[in-house]
Chain A
């Protein structure tokens, strides 16, 4: 199988999810006797390509017109590359970028796409994959029935690729700017810069729910505990709807899907839509003042208490490296 991995980055760094995508691709290449090629799109020049080359050969498509992650342009380039190089499989990590861009590329490539897979096997010459449905209540085993196939993988389900012994080759891709569509133009990105890891990449996630009354309390209780454990902060939908947390912290069926080693749910009741986003975490701890909250049904450890009373206490009692 000839596999093209579309990498995601923030101009400076590759996203760790992409490394999981490469891991998946490498694994499949081994099983099928195929090859892996990574595609980096943007205008960041060599540093990103070099990062990527640690893990696989790289195709670097560089142009000022690709600097912003606009779906029409990026998808056009991806489809072009996949077509020209007779790629059998296009892979990316599951994210809002890949859903936006790689799905469009999938549409340009004939629509054989499976998103957010959590496991795969190569059986009788075909790729069988498992993906969640119905907010994670069902796991479906699927196959794609035409070529090329387009697949996005759930980062938490696949370990990051191992670096190669020798760095892969970097091939610059010449982009014909004139051929790029320009249906859309980029205005701006509003995000709060954070000293904390991304919620999808962290090994510890501390998440707050409805019981939190305002952003200051969120920072103090949830943020405080997260910093103590070196983790990321997450949020239930209720807080985002109330404007207390930004949307990028939302964990759930329609937000981010995470599976850290430790997930602490503070004042979260555990509606099925939230559970869909975190129930695969290795260890789940729940603190809620309602002993009948559904979150306790998926938790390993629970404490029935008012988070305003116990979380500061918990934060101080956990042996933290820094105060």
Chain B
């Protein structure tokens, strides 16, 4: 190289034949890589076509905002997430850097330039390039080392998360390979610096260090050249081998996961509808075989790195139920690999129920969406579970008390099978106008089944209407016209009973002018499940409404001065975020505002979007568990451990589960809805009846 040129000769020391072989090998490696990916893609395509068409604009945006930013790693396992960022960005930069060298080489050759006359790989660009590559190479290696240490149990990670990562022999091999590739890269660089006497080697500090080390052990410029050649080939072959075998290892997650995160824009609390026509046409309802999954779901199986974050977050798993979302996904993947030869030939295979997945596993889920929220790869074990539940329900495989609850909703419009005409008994003694009595209402209060029939929950509804009356709100309720929103019905898998309920409710709501008015009338509800259903499910069937949680509406009333609060008692109150409010609807602030009016808020460790399920969602409320075996028992303990005198909730399911859980532990802590707390603060009357325990 001309001495005044800040550059280095690319492929210096590599003769033309070797270059030819190298490019050939590279091409082969690339072909093997592409073929490997293609085989997996073909497997994914055995599934049913995805319902929505690709939104290219959104995809491109999410490629940056979700994939390249690694945003989804936020919120759990901070050290592992940092290590992954180091590894990922290190690898990305090194790959780009290597490609740039190839570009320089090919472009320069095409332009007829001599190797000593590079196109752009020189000067300031070169300096920055060398520095960046060295730093990011280090990052890559640090990441690898940390991950290897964690697998050996030496990284200081909590026992839980280190134990919940999946272990496969290729994982360690991949990490070691990356490490060795990185190391060999530096050694090659060092040797190159030695024999080529690259100017300003300080821009490659690590390479310089390697060069110095070689020099110290007595390597001369001449021998450096030979060793360089050997190590260069080692590095090249390893790197190319790595690329070729990429899709056979867990690294496939990078591709499957990137596509998943970029193309699928799904929020917690949403579900895919199925139409009766589809079922009649295909004869398929829900997922009974692997190929009944949608393509993106089969892709999700390859996106899973078995990190176990979902398992750590799963309340059913914590309670000892036979459900681990990670194991579910991995078992499905294993089943896919096993059935692949049959499926590729077009033969029947991939039956899931009983063999691969047990019904008990599926019914253990509370649909709390913790797994969906925490997964860095955008996988939804929850959707897989509800799809498989649909199949079980469709095949008549559900029995006992949960089946009875569905039957009762079908007949009477509420899960207890109580007379529909008794739906309005909760208002006894209060002035509560129905939509018939007050057709010019501005706010509809959706009461829900629990507050209509369950004695304890009726008190929430009574508190809400008293507060609305005090604030002078022009409101009404549907009264006996209301039917179960169908949230748990849908999440148990009975899609068509849900659609029947939704159609009925939408017709009722629309008939009272809730869809068409402008400005639109609002709906409030104290039940996050009804809320989520109205917001996320009902639009799929033509029901578009503006719905708020009662805490949001009441907090606004306080803010606007329409409700005056008398005192702030000094008691300690802890707040249990409902899954369907915090995660599915992103509402965490307003309930807290209401709590803080009544006392001092003591937070639990798992709060807001990290809240831990009370155990009643997804139809689990209707399963007959003993008090010790219920999902959510540990949440009760967590609440009691705060030492608060009051546990504040804002969901009727949470109210029931927490109350029963507290009673089972013989504690004297009271459990109240935020509306009840607000009413106390507004009227300055504390309601300390023992019926809190019923």
Contact = CB atoms under 8 A, between A and B. Distances in A.
A22 B691 CA distance: 51
B113 interface: no
A186 B691 CA distance: 54
B571 interface: no
Q: Is the interface of A mostly helix, strand, loop or mixed?
A: loop
Interface string B423-453: 0000000000000000000000000000000
Interface string A284-314: 0000011110000000000000000000000
Interface string B664-694: 0000000000000000000000000001001
Q: Is the interface of B mostly helix, strand, loop or mixed?
A: helix
Nearest to B626: A213
Nearest to B693: A289
Contacts of B411: none
Contacts of B694: 289-292
Interface residues of A, number: 4
A206 B203 CA distance: 92
A133 B691 CA distance: 36
Contacts, number: 6
Interface string A271-291: 000000000000000000111
Contacts of A291: 691, 694
Interface in B625-660: none
B455 interface: yes
A289 B455 CA distance: 14
Interface string A143-165: 00000000000000000000000
A237 B55 CA distance: 57
Nearest to B456: A292
Interface string B49-68: 00000000000000000000
A252 to B, nearest CB: 17
A297 B691 CA distance: 18
A155 to B, nearest CB: 32
A93 B455 CA distance: 42
Interface string B449-463: 000000100000000
Contacts of A289: 694
Nearest to A213: B626
Nearest to B663: A289
A203 B694 CA distance: 33
A232 B610 CA distance: 54
Nearest to B689: A291
A290 B693 CA distance: 9
A142 B458 CA distance: 43
B201 to A, nearest CB: 80
A100 B500 CA distance: 43
Nearest to A290: B694
Contacts of B691: 291
B399 to A, nearest CB: 13
Contacts of A292: 455, 694
Nearest to A289: B694
Interface in B237-259: none
A209 to B, nearest CB: 15
Contacts of A290: 694
Nearest to A293: B694
A292 B694 CA distance: 8
Contacts of B455: 292
B130 to A, nearest CB: 75
Nearest to B454: A292
Nearest 6 pairs of A and B residues by beta carbon: A292-B455, A290-B694, A291-B694, A292-B694, A291-B691, A289-B694
6 contacts: A289-B694, A290-B694, A291-B691, A291-B694, A292-B455, A292-B694
